Amino acid sequence: MTSTALAAERWIARSIPPFLLGITGYSIYVVVYSLSIDYLLLESLKTSAAIAILVVYFTLFLPYIFAFIRLLSTMADPGYIPIIHSKSKSKEKALWLDRDGVLEGTVLPPRGIERFYAKDAFICDARGLPKFCDRGCYNWKPARTHHCSQVGRCVRRMDHFCPWVGGVVAEGNTNFFIQFTFYAALFCGFILGVMIWALVDSKGRLNGHWIAMCACAGLFGFMALGLFAVTTFQNEVKNVTTVEGYARDNFSSVFVAVYLPHGYTPRHDKKPPLAIITYPLPRESLPDVLRKTFAVIECGTNDRLWDLGSWLENLKSVMGERYIDWFIPIRRSPCCSRGGDDYDYPFGRALRKRKREYGL
């Protein structure tokens, strides 16, 4: 994608959230004033219908607008990887990181590699080096990290770039995005139903505001329902992101470096590792007490490395352990705390199965 196209996409993404907020404000005028007050209360004298519509409208409006604002508040940092190196240095070196030199000890590895082999397992390339961003960030990429071309940054657990919310849906806001699309679908569905009822009840009265609101509610409700039910929520039930789903369909393998305990001996009845790598690397000035050896194993793209075994546990890893957090957009996702010392995110049963195939 050209720089002009990227700039245009970013401009559109920045303009859509204010537009959606404007449509939301317009719905207040149409539903509250034009329909409930002007038509039902003053003209038709249908007080009970007006009150019922207003109660349900604001019951759905409040969680919807709260979830939207909470989601927008995370767009400044949805899970960006800190840029360790300067932009100028990134542009100079990103295209020619000498991986052979790093492994052989003739080139000093970029900073931050020690955070990977401090863990017991990490995503790597076929030779055991962590994934590296050669698209401008010049950083090592933790597990489930993807470089977003629209913002020019690597993002943890990136799901997709969404112009409707003005930025990246990723580790820091996936739960808010699910809540927003869920409440938006309910809110728009209610408005659409009420507007259709009003047009029928008014016996053919053509109110331009009502018709416009029908079109807006139908369009945005359909899109919110699609984003919620068809893509994001369906993926999170399986603990997979949209980016990972795309990679599974277009690439062949994922490599994982697994810690080898002292005294490990290969078994002849099991698969041999693709590679054995020992950290710290030759050029790293770190004590030998930190020395750890890893075996590189290959996982198929159909292996759900992050699937925790049940849809409930997968959802809890994103939405929170407390069910109330599934519906109230306040607390950030448990993904933000990551896995601790042993891994970035908890590996599922698929990795344990692969380890047994390699005798680990």
Do both 125 and 267 map to the same domain?
Answer: yes
Do both 22 and 53 map to the same domain?
Answer: yes
User: CA end-to-end span of the chain, whole Å?
Assistant: 43
- Which residues are within 8 A (CB) of 9 and not within 5 positions of it... i.e. 6 or more apart? 1, 150, 163
Please identify every stretch of the chain with a pLDDT value under 70, giving residue numbers as ranges: 1-3, 85-96, 248-252, 285-289, 338-342
pTM over 0.85, yes/no:
yes
Do both 234 and 264 map to the same domain?
Answer: no
What does the block give as tokens for 223?
């899109």
Do both 103 and 180 map to the same domain?
Answer: no
pLDDT of residue 282: 82
What does the block give as tokens for 213?
């609101």
pLDDT of residue 96: 64
Cα separation, 248 vs 238, whole angstroms:
13
Do both 174 and 55 map to the same domain?
Answer: yes
Do both 103 and 230 map to the same domain?
Answer: no
Do both 172 and 110 map to the same domain?
Answer: no
Q: Which of 187, 214, 240 is the last residue of a domain?
A: 240
pLDDT of residue 110: 86
Q: Torsion angle, CA of 256/259/263/264, rounded to 10 degrees?
A: -10
The SS3 assignment for 159 reads coil
Do both 222 and 258 map to the same domain?
Answer: no
What does the block give as tokens for 270?
């099991």
E strand spans, the chain: 121-124, 145-148, 153-156, 160-162, 167-169, 253-260, 275-279, 292-300
Instruction: Evaluate whether residue 153 is within a structural domain.
Output: no
pLDDT of residue 90: 44
Do both 217 and 262 map to the same domain?
Answer: no
Instruction: Evaluate whether residue 280 is within a structural domain.
Output: yes
Cα separation, 197 vs 53, whole angstroms:
11
Do both 270 and 174 map to the same domain?
Answer: no
Number of domain units in the chain: 2
Do both 209 and 352 map to the same domain?
Answer: no
Q: Which of 213, 240, 267 is the last residue of a domain?
A: 240
Do both 172 and 236 map to the same domain?
Answer: yes
Instruction: Evaluate whether residue 160 is within a structural domain.
Output: no
Cα separation, 239 vs 305, whole angstroms:
9
Cα separation, 308 vs 352, whole angstroms:
11
Cα separation, 6 vs 3, whole angstroms:
5
DSSP secondary structure, 217-229, as one string: HHHHHHHHHIIII
pLDDT of residue 341: 62
Residue-number span of the structural domain to which 41 is assigned? 3-76+167-240
Q: Omega into 280 within 30° of 0, i.e. cis?
A: yes
Instruction: Evaluate whether residue 195 is within a structural domain.
Output: yes
The alpha carbon of 172 is separated from its chain's Cα centroid by a whole number of angstroms, namely 8
Counting DSSP H helices and E strands in the chain, the numbers are 11, 8
Return phi, psi of residue 74, to 5°.
-95, -5
DSSP secondary structure, 312-351, as one string: HHHHHHHH-SSGGGGTSTTSPPGGGG---SS-SS---HHH
